[in-house]
Structure 1
Amino acid sequence: MVSEPRESFLGEEKRDYVLEKVLPEKYRSNAPQSEKNAWDKHSNDVVDVTCPMLATMNSDLQKQYENVASPIEMITSLKAMFQEQARTERYQMVKSLVECKLPKDAPVSPHVIKMMGYIDNPGKLDCPISQELSY
């Protein structure tokens, strides 16, 4: 789902760490300059990652997440929100595949195309069917 855009946008810019590493507390005033620079870079990278995430959401989700400071928090919350929906969708898809039967006296070609769709679809839902089962 997220891996390909994340690799291209965040990986090339070396910002993907903000999806796994929480921004630490702000540095002390007497902290070494290297610590200040590291914190400033991390803080800027969080903003640079959060803005496109919000921009790609619909307006209802944008309002819900506009005050969330961390991309990690956003992703965790979104996964929790949509995980049950995805599980239900996978269940319905597998159920349709298992129950799909060629009606008596029906042409085979449309049925084969329908079955191919059922076999290809699980990969899109992060639930691929192995090659052994797809033939």
Structure 2
Amino acid sequence: MSTRNPLSAILKQNKLTGPNYQDWLRNLKIVLNSERIAYVLEKKPPKEAAPNISETELAKLEKWWDHDLQAKSYILASMSNELQRRFEDAANAADIHFHLKELYGVQTRSERHANVKELMTTRLREGASVHEHGVRMIGLVEKLVGLDVVMPHELSIDILLLSLPVLVRRICG
């Protein structure tokens, strides 16, 4: 990984193993954004330059290919050895990103579903600490936000209040 970018250390410390895909992807995007090359994750570069391409267009293509190679290198260097072997022959960074999303994105959906279910069904048990219950509920909301669930602040407060018994709601509300 690049010694030029001190942020690349987060990829070295948090290698992709599979189950940690969302955390790894967030870290990867931080590094690629700092290098201003994150666009290569979503867009594939053209394979070949047209024979009559201008010098300016050729320079743009070469820059794109350089950025793609740099991003692909970050991606491969921040994977487990098993995943590196699987993706080392991938054509570009966008292909790797697409396949990883296909492999591990479904897991995110099931994780999101489990967290939503837990958030919506959790209730304060009789005799339990209101503070600990609140911390648990906030943790579930934060997990969902980390899984890219958009939840207005007011909704998270309403869900928390609904998890409390009526007497506590009257005191808190």
Residue 134 of structure 2 corresponds to 112
Q: Verify: 1:83 aligned to 2:109, yes or no.
A: no
Higher relative contact order (CA 8 A, sep 6+): 2
Task: Name which of 61, 69, 87 aligns with 2:83.
Answer: 61
Structure-to-structure mapping, 1:1-135, within 5 angstroms = 1=26, 3-9=29-35, 11=36, 15-27=37-49, 33-135=55-157
Q: CA RMSD in A?
A: 2.2
Any stretches of 5+ residues in structure 2 without a counterpart?
1-25, 158-173
Letter of the 1:123 counterpart: V
Q: How many Å apart are 1:130 and its aligned residue? A: 1.1
Alpha carbons 2:76, 2:87 under 8 Å: kept: yes
In 2, the alpha carbon distance for the partners of 1:20 and 1:121 equals 25
Indicate the SS of the match to 1:97: helix
In 1, the alpha carbon distance for the partners of 2:125 and 2:60 equals 65
What TM-score do you get using the length of structure 1 for normalisation? 0.81
Percent of aligned pairs sharing the same letter: 28
Letter of the 2:34 counterpart: S
In 1, the alpha carbon distance for the partners of 2:97 and 2:137 equals 34
Letter of the 1:78 counterpart: L
What TM-score do you get using the length of structure 2 for normalisation? 0.65
In 2, the alpha carbon distance for the partners of 1:75 and 1:20 equals 8
